[in-house]
Chains A and B, each alone.
Chain A
Amino acid sequence: MKRERATTLYFGPQHPGITGNMMIRLKVEGDTIVKATTEVGYLHRAFEKLVEKRNWVQSFTLMCRFCVPEPDPVENTYARAVEMIAGIEIPERAKWIRVLILELARMSSLLLWHAGQGHSLGLYTMGQWSVGDRNYILDLFEELTGARIYHMYVWPGGVRKDFPEGFEDRVLKVMDYFENKLPDYDNLLFENSIFQKRTQGVGIVNPEQIIEHGVVGQPLRAAGIKSDIRIDDSYEVYDKLKFDIPTQTGSDIWARALVRRAELRESISIIRQVIGKIPKGDFNVKLPNPQKWTIPAGDAFARAESVRGEVGMYLVSDGGNKPRRAHFRGAAYVHAVSLLEDVLVGANIADVSAIMNSLGTCPPEIER
């Protein structure tokens, strides 16, 4: 075979610039990319195969490990899908707690995004600040669920535990902390002229591609389309909360960054509302013995707005005590493969990492 014309650059899997364990095979001429091929599969653990051998509750522990930065939306979609098939009505308080958890997870993941976006452009201080501050949210999680990362908290039939005493106050305190802290982030990241120069007009997702590829989340909203599953296809108690869907029109990295910046503030406001409105009552319904718990045959598709966009869980029960099929749809499933390959063509080598971060590429939810 004749040697190729363009130079091959292996962007990952072992590369500081890649988000997670995946690979982009770049063909470059000069510092312009002429072709990009995404290769995934480095994280394939076959969850969807493993659930065939696990009962409904055991499967639940696998579910949260689909995506590392934000396990809760996945737990939530699974729990809701199970509830849909089994016809379980969960208490009102559980729904509010779930919203709180989901928004905390959203905050934590957005802080990680701050880190990733800063890191991808060489601004390591941003990552140090935001990941360091993220620990305060993880502390809340730890207090509530006992774990920092994999909470296994949003349970079919409600949530696993109620709030500990004084938890609401501590949440509010953390929110206060972040509200004081966010101007610093603005100063460091969003008002930095170099950051603006590096992101404006870079990594533009074509408006036609947006609908064609089924782009979701911030890339969609950064193109000026006001779409959010939390409102469009509302779940839990999001319809009882007042919040805004931030949009931008640039459709570049900068626009997506601004959308995320606004979303972080929206999340704080949602959490404040939840703390103010949360009703008293039960936090879950009693489930039967997990080993013997069977769910009537049927299927359900539950979707939710994760941080990087729409996620969904397609769950099929054949009437047994184990799921027949659980198929997860991650936001990055379209972003990371077909869309990224298109967006990267013509981009600069220097921007690959930033574009990936901006699209919210997360390999574990592609290959599961």
Chain B
Amino acid sequence: METFLEKIKDRISVNFELDRSSIDVERKRVDVQIKKEQIPSILRYLKENMNFRHLMHASVVDWLEEGKFEVLFMLWTPKEKIRVFVRTKLDRDNPVMENLDMIWPQLNTYEREFKEMYGIEFTGLVAPEEFILEDWEGPPPMRRDFDTEAYAKDVFSERIGREDAQDVRETIAKRSGEVIPDFAKKHSR
């Protein structure tokens, strides 16, 4: 199995200039990192030449500390049952990428989501402006520097009583006049 994975990794690295690559035998996984310009070609190569026809998932991770977005595509081949993770890093200040939905139509949905949630621009993406959020004015909410708690405190008013009702059991007991035995008290939290 290990040699097989190595072989796949080698085959990819012969054709593409990889930033980083690794294999994980236990999870039957090949990880490659690549420049964003090569993403369309590597995906197409994997799909058409190496039979990784199934796009399991695509995701974005915000590495705020590095100032990068990591975009990754998780591919799978039902025949050999091997996963390939293709990663790329985007500049956090100017996250632009090429549209990929001609390779897998479902990527259109993913791209709409990433655009809205992370503010990543996909050049050439044809889709309605809004996907999940409506009339959203703040920064893209899934970015790590967006503080949802502060936003929620600011926009929605919290119901009074939530903060002191931390111990639900005690509060209910107090309200109903029930006496909680000592042994039960420590489990009440």
Contact = CB atoms under 8 A, between A and B. Distances in A.
A contacting B, Cβ–Cβ less than 8 Å:
yes
Contacts of B104: 212-214
Interface stretch (B33-41, B49-57, B90-98, B181-189): B49-57
B159 interface: no
Contacts of A46: 141-142, 148
A233 B80 CA distance: 10
A327 B148 contact: no
B78 interface: yes
Given A324-B61, A327-B57, A329-B56, A212 B105 contact: yes
A303 interface: yes
Contact of B27 (A227, A300, A334): A300
A351 to B, nearest CB: 22
A63 to B, nearest CB: 16
B77 to A, nearest CB: 10
B56 A303 contact: yes
B74 interface: yes
A325 B61 contact: yes
Contacts of A324: 61
B105 A338 contact: yes
A40 B132 contact: yes
A325 B62 contact: yes
Interface string A30-69: 0000000100110010101110110000000000000000
B27 to A, nearest CB: 7
A40 B131 contact: yes
Interface residues of B, number: 33
A227 B142 CA distance: 34
A24 interface: no
A84 B83 CA distance: 15
Interface string A202-227: 00000000011110000000000001
Nearest to B55: A214
B109 interface: yes
A338 B134 CA distance: 20
Interface string A228-243: 0000110000000000
A301 B105 contact: no
A121 interface: no
Given A212-B105, A213-B106, A327-B59, 12 more contacts: A37-B128, A40-B131, A41-B131, A52-B144, A214-B54, A214-B104, A233-B76, A312-B74, A329-B57, A333-B109, A338-B108, A367-B132
24 contacts: A40-B131, A41-B130, A46-B141, A46-B148, A48-B142, A50-B148, A84-B27, A212-B104, A212-B105, A213-B105, A213-B106, A214-B55, A232-B78, A232-B81, A233-B76, A301-B57, A312-B74, A314-B57, A314-B59, A325-B59, A325-B61, A327-B60, A329-B57, A337-B109
